[in-house]
Amino acid sequence: MSRSHPDADGLDVPETAVRNRSQFADTLHLPDPDSDEPSPACVESENRPDADFTDVPVAAYPHYKLCENPDCFGSEWW
């Protein structure tokens, strides 16, 4: 695990995350361990069925936010 992201304060962030290939993407997601293709662990791929996700090194995207969904980098919902 790495802490190579500015928002990683107190979190175990993996070296690799998943992001949407869209030019408007701004969020990193935890990879879904049960998926053969790059896919987020949260419901983002279900909410955006036309999205194309790719694996990326977390350190290369310090300007992206970490997904706050509990299935990704977030804590429990209120």
Q: What is the pLDDT of residues 38-67, one digit of tens each?
A: 999 999 988 988 999 999 999 899 999 999
pTM for this model (two decimals): 0.84
**CA–CA distances in Å: residue 40 to residues 6, 31:** 20, 5
Note whether 51 and 27 are within 8 A (CB): no
Mean pLDDT of 25-35: 94
pLDDT score for 9: 67
Rg (CA), the chain: 12
In the predicted structure, residue 1 carries a pLDDT above the cut 60:
no
Give the per-residue pLDDT at 77.
57
* C-alpha angle 35-74-52 in degrees, rounded to nearest 5: 35
